[in-house]
Structure 1
Amino acid sequence: MRLDRDGSPARELAFRLRQVRADAGLTYAQLAAKTDYSISTLQEAASGRRLPTLPVTLAFAGACGADVGEWREYWTDLSHARVTGDSSVPVPRWELRIRSQAAEEVKPPKEVRIRRVWLRWAIVLFFIASSAVAAVFLLIPSERGKPRDFATVVIQNKVAIGPSSLLEDTTPLYMSSRTISHCARRGCELSGTTMWSGAKVVVSCWAHGERLTNEDLTSSGIARNPHGATSDLWFYGKWSDGRGGYVAQVYVAPAFRGTLGLRECGTP
């Protein structure tokens, strides 16, 4: 049965129960054999119709090899949100840990860091000596109307759901060698470049590619969601090890969308 995420505690838990079962590669029959619960009880837990009990949740997750302590904490947070009517959906500890690790790995390439140092010195010289104005303008071409050499963008790996929700995607974003979607299965994903919301990427140009959206088009009321974004623009940037790849603009924070004064990829 298809599960449409609407930001409710029951469906968020069901979504992650389905995810952990898929990661473990277990059928419901195999799950039932590893727990004291029937197939129908386990299927109901992952249906999203209601929040399952804590024992069922822990048995389900534990049979899939997940950390029972983290799932206990996650279930408790969701239960509290359901009772209080809190609209902010809790994020499980394991996802926060993965995002934190990914964010720490994202650093600007060495040559970009060096360029930043020179730009700072150029600005200082501008205020110290008027004779340095011409030199400073050469170091900062965007000040003269020329395309910028680079910009730093902030990742927003979130999905717009329903009329107003904006939730972190359950899978990380990654750089790709082509401006197309689903590169993980199409052979164009840059391995080791996974990112979560808040990560920063240094980009140098933009390009047109496949038109993408961050909207869950199956969710009710999505047309009214102010967080929805659709675009065929992609940024090209470099990972910390020097490899280059593309990131779709619908997955960067709104303040960093558009061309940002950068050149179009492939132009001088």
Structure 2
Amino acid sequence: MAPPGVRKPPSWTIRPLIRIIGCKIRKTGGPVGRSAGRPERALTRDGSPVRELAFWLRDLRAASGLTYAQLAQRTTYSISTLQEATAGRRLPTLKVTLALAEACGGTSETWRSYWIQIRRALDSGNPVAQEDIVPPWVENHSENLGSASAAASTNLVDRVEDSEANERAPVQQEPSECEAVTSDRQKAQWSKKRLRLTVVGGITCFGVVSVVTLLTASSPKHFQSFASVIVQNKVAIGPSELIEDSSPSYLSSETISRCGTRGCKLQGTEMSSGAKLVVSCWTHGEEMTNADFTSAGISRNKGVASSDLWYRALWSDGRIGYISEVYIVPQNRGTMDLKQC
């Protein structure tokens, strides 16, 4: 029973719960329910381009010392997407590859060139030997691989040890929640103050969200029903050239490449630069590029385009097909304010 004149704090105060959680953290070294990450599966190098890309992405990640969780925060891609990119089962998209490489300290243009080599080799349909596609960093610095690998391994161990030490330090320095409160009166006052702050904060957040929702609902985004686009069937070569492709563009029934050999080409829809199309919506598909990355100086060519955005177009006889926006003039790229298919 509380002494006369001293009001007993309410039984629902949250401070005891905080003390319990704090003590639990001190005993376990971390939050309750924290689990270890799933170990990465071993990768067998069979000489295929996709497996080699996965191997070098893993090597780059290991040298950076970053976990998949940290990479997910840096790249905005999920952990499962990043792990799939390094699994070696299929070629990841160019965007995922570049995001992962840049987050680990890789050079964008170098990895873009390597990815394009693999993409072109796969699109050719011919068997590809391991020595046919050599990563630029291996080709240019093969004599330094031994020392670089050893240095990367040493740095990685140092970074992991420093990281683990930093993660443990805050837990050791935090004062015990069991010793933070000295009297029942102070606990009761703090509980009331925290409750008032929580209620006020909740009301404020609710009001802001409501206002934003009303403003958004009152001014809905306007989408076009259709748009006219112009075909640009050109290839970027070298530091500045943009020349007409010897193979015409065409509509396909699926948003994938090489439909001429895969049975998804709409026959009779061949087009060259300057042709006009009526498009009604856009969607995502296989990433395409108009660059010849085997040509010298291609990284300086401002006409290079790479994108996974496809337009759905209406042909003159009523058939409907898709065309990648890399085969459309630059001013007609980027959804054209059309709705998504």
Q: TM-score range by the shorter chain?
A: 0.3 to 0.5
Larger Rg: 2
Structure possessing the higher relative contact order (Cα contacts under 8 Å, 6 or more residues apart): 1
Q: Hey, which of these two has a bigger chunk of helix by percent? A: 2
